Each structure stands twice: as structure tokens, then as C-alpha cells.
Amino acid sequence: MARGVAHDHSEKRGAIRKGAATYFAANGYDRASMTGAAAHCGVSKALVYHYYDSKDALLYDILHTHLSDLVETVSVVSESDDELRHLIRAILLAYRDADAEHKLQADAMAALPVDKREPLLALQRRLVHMMGEALQSASPSTMSDPARLRPVTMTVFGMLNWFYMWHRPGKGLDREAYADLVTDMVMGGIKGL
């Protein structure tokens, strides 16, 4: 008779995913091993392989969970007069405690085979599309040209995506204040184009 799924299956899987993300980001995905990930997580290699049959499968789950959570967070931002502000804030707050996942998204996604990369790229494109829609809504007269919209959209993500590189918690602006600063800069900029 087959064994059932443990009551804490998703919690264990989540802990492995989070610990492995930190380990992969700190050591570089290409140099990291499943043995090292298991040691970093404080579990046996056999337990890691119970949940993931390969390092690529683990990386895919880390990135897919991270990006899916971002898309879900952004999707619930209600359309309002201040949609762009709410969207920027939601993304930046969703990045909290996800620095390792974010670093892996930038550094390691290319290591995955094409069939694993495509669903992740689709999630990224969805996020870019939602930000573009918010920018168009915020300034229809200046953001209607796709040749202008894409660079502005990617610039906004650039301001948000690299926050973790220079920000030190407890020093300077917190995430909420930085989100407002970015929104004010973007709004002033796009309306002045």
C-alpha cells in the first residue's frame, strides 16, 4: 500500500525551497550542489531528493513559486486613480524576504532547459504587461507609443528589482517610502515626456 502525503508536506517543501534559494544565491547556482543545499537546509540529501528529482527541478520550483506569487500579488491590485502607486508598492513589498529568489531569477534562470524557462518567462512577461497597463492608465497621452512604453516599463522594474542590492534595513528609506519615491519620480517623468 502506498504511503500517503505527510501532513507537513507543503511546509517541508517550502522550507527546502527557501533554504535552497538562499544557498544557490549565495554560492552561485552553477557551483551549488544538492548536497550543499541539503546541508544548508539542515536536512538529508535523501529528503531533498524526496521532494525534487534534480537541481533543475528545485530551481524551477523556486522561480515558479516566486514569480507566481508576484503575479498573484499584482493581480489583486485594484484598478483605481492611483493604480500605479499601488502596483509599485505591491511589487516592492512582495520582494521583501525574497532577495535570494530574486537574485536567482536574474542570475540562474538561463541555466534551466528551454521547456522549464518558457513558463517562467511567460510569468515575467505577464508582470511586465501589467506594469505597462498601469503606466498607460497613469498617462495615456505619453505612454501610448509601444516604443516608449517598453523602456519606461523596464526602467520602473530596474528601480524596483535592484533595491535589495543597495538598501540596508533600518537605514534610509523603508520599502513603503521608496515605493512612493519611485512612483513620484515615474509619474513626474512620464507626464513630462
Does 2 have pLDDT greater than 50? no
Question: Which residue is it, cell 509601444?
Answer: 146
**With contact defined as beta carbons under 8 Å apart, do 37 and 17 qualify?**
no
By the 10 Å C-beta count (0-12 exposed, 13-18 middle, 19+ buried), 167 is classed as middle
pLDDT digits (tens, 9 = 90+) for 32-48: 999 999 999 999 999 99
By the 10 Å C-beta count (0-12 exposed, 13-18 middle, 19+ buried), 190 is classed as buried
pLDDT digits (tens, 9 = 90+) for 112-143: 999 999 999 999 999 999 999 999 999 999 99
How many degrees, rounded to 5, is the angle at CA 26 between CA 22 and CA 31? Answer: 110
pLDDT digits (tens, 9 = 90+) for 50-77: 999 999 999 999 999 999 999 998 888 8
**With contact defined as beta carbons under 8 Å apart, do 5 and 46 qualify?**
no
User: Average pLDDT, whole number, for the chain?
Assistant: 91
Q: Which structural domains are found in the chain, ordered by start? A: 54-191 (1.10.357.10)
Give the pLDDT of residue 1.
Answer: 42
Pairwise pLDDT comparison (164 vs 146), residue with the higher score: 146
Q: What distance in Å separates the CA atoms of residue 183 and residue 85, rounded to the nearest whole number? A: 6
pTM comes to 0.88
